[in-house]
């Protein structure tokens, strides 16, 4: 009898336990995730929408953000600092206001006040690619000083010890942080290599035709140059044209930096336009941004509290290192 009784109670307990099991073991994650992220509005203001970096970020973000029920929007200032400022101001006052504002700053200072206002209004501000004088909740992109060092190392490697050791730069401008920091990095790294010197350092003002003109002049004045570093793949086609037209493609190693897009970077290395591209992968930057917004929107962190730097590792893509996965493909991304 006792045996029977205890058997029954065992079954009863087991049944009760079994019945209770689904409730006790239910995963709290999806609910919390959904509550925190659903309906969140993310607005991106790049310098322009019509170039590979912005199209890449938008491509990856617009795929993933709807998956958690968020809304993703972009604004296109088309390289106008004023239009970008307007877009940010409009986003801050819009209703519902965005939860995350992603800004690509054109220079160190233009948007600093506006971005501070956004944070005060309760919006997380992400800075992408270009540093600025502002404590963003998170910065994504390359460490530009490090980019400069890496470009210089690539130039030194490509030239080799038996070369002229003369290196030319095609800088961007004198206000953009990417240009200033890159330059510092290059100079710093060059100093470590005996005999290497920067023989010419003109500016392209980010314009391809100007890049071509100044590079042509540079090559005439210093025909022994063995490597040229152009500060952006958006204008480096000009430097490439100058090298090609001078018939020095075999002699001069052209190093640019870019976002690792296939036709802009990998294809251009294959066809000899560039010798190497130092790439901050847009793909990785995009997924870093997604992870960070998922974290911040679920955390108790308030806009303005965090100040994190999420530097993406930079790859040097050249003939030796290029693989099928070195680049991402914009046309494939937008076609999906």
Q: Which residues of 300-317 are buried (b: 16+ CB within 10 A; e: fewer)?
A: eeebbebeeebbbebbbb
Nearer residue to other proteins within complex by CB, 118 or 237: 237
Site string for other proteins, 210-229 (x = CB under 8 A): x-xxx-xxx-xx--------
Q: Which residues in 241-270 contact other proteins (CB under 8 A)?
A: 241, 245, 263
Of 73, 146, 173, 329, the residue at the interface with other proteins (CB under 8 A) is 173
In Å, how far from its chain's centre is CA 142? 6
Pairing of β 276-280 and β 314-318? antiparallel
What would the x/- binding string for other proteins be over residues 312 to 331, using CB under 8 A?
A: ------------------x-
Closest approach, Cβ 208 to other proteins, in A, equals 5
Question: What secondary structure letter does DSSP report for 192?
Answer: T
Beta bridge partners, 51, equal none
Q: Tell me the closest approach of the beta carbon of residue 153 to other proteins, in angstroms.
A: 23
Binding residue count for other proteins, defined by CB under 8 A: 38
Q: Is 106 in the site for other proteins (CB under 8 A)?
A: no
Q: Which residues from 33-62 bind other proteins, rule CB under 8 A? A: 48, 50-52, 55
Using CB under 8 A, which of the segments 75-83, 95-103, 183-191, 309-317 binds other proteins?
75-83
* Helix, strand, or coil (residue 63): helix
Q: Buried (b) or exposed (e) across 40-71, using 16+ Cβ within 10 A? A: bbbbbbbbbbebbbbbbbbbbbbebbeebebe
d(CA 143, CA 123): 25
Instruction: Note whether 209 binds other proteins by CB under 8 A.
Output: yes
Cα radius of gyration rounded to whole Å, the chain: 26
Q: Which is nearer to other proteins, 109 or 221 (CB)?
A: 221
164 touches other proteins (CB under 8 A): no
Cα–Cα distance measured from residue 48 to residue 230, given in angstroms and rounded to the nearest whole number:
21
Please give the DSSP secondary-structure letter assigned to residue 107.
Answer: S
CB 204 within 8 A of CB 172: yes
Mark the segment that binds other proteins (CB under 8 A) among 10-18, 107-115, 170-178, 313-321: 170-178
Closest CA relative to residue 154, chosen from 185, 131, 177, 181: 185
Binding residues for other proteins restricted to 187-206, rule: CB under 8 A:
200-203, 205-206
Residues interacting with other proteins, by CB under 8 A?
48, 50-52, 55, 78-80, 171, 173-174, 200-203, 205-210, 212-214, 216-218, 220-221, 234-235, 237-238, 241, 245, 263, 330, 334
């Amino acid at each position: 009898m006792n045996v029977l009784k205890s058997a029954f109670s065992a079954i009863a307990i087991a049944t009760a336990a079994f019945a209770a099991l689904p409730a006790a073991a239910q995963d709290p994650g999806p609910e919390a995730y959904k509550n925190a992220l659903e309906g969140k509005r993310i607005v991106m203001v790049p310098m322009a929408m019509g170039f590979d970096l912005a199209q890449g970020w938008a491509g990856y973000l617009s795929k993933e953000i709807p998956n958690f029920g968020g809304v993703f929007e972009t604004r296109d200032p088309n390289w106008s600092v004023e239009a970008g400022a307007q877009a940010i101001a409009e986003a801050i006052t819009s209703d519902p206001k965005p939860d995350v504002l992603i800004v690509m700053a054109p220079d160190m200072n233009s948007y600093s006040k506006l971005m501070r206002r956004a944070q005060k209004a309760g919006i997380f501000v992400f800075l992408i690619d270009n540093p600025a004088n502002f404590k963003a909740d998170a910065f994504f992109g390359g460490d530009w000083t490090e980019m400069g060092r890496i470009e210089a190392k690539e130039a030194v490697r490509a030239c080799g010890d038996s070369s002229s050791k003369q290196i030319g730069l095609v800088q961007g401008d004198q206000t953009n942080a990417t240009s200033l920091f890159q330059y510092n990095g290059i100079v710093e790294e060059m100093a470590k290599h005996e005999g290497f010197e920067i023989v010419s350092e003109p500016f392209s003002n980010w314009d391809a035709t100007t890049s071509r003109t100044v590079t042509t002049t540079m090559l005439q004045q210093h025909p022994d140059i063995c490597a040229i570093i152009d500060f952006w793949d958006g204008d480096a086609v000009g430097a490439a044209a100058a090298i090609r037209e001078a018939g020095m493609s075999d002699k001069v190693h052209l190093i640019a930096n870019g976002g690792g897009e296939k036709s802009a970077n990998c294809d251009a290395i294959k066809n000899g336009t560039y010798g190497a591209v130092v790439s901050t992968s847009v793909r990785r930057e995009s997924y870093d941004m997604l992870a960070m917004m998922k974290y911040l929107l679920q955390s108790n962190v308030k806009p303005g509290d965090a100040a994190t730097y999420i530097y993406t590792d930079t790859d040097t893509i050249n003939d030796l290192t290029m693989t099928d996965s070195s680049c991402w493909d914009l046309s494939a991304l937008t076609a999906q």
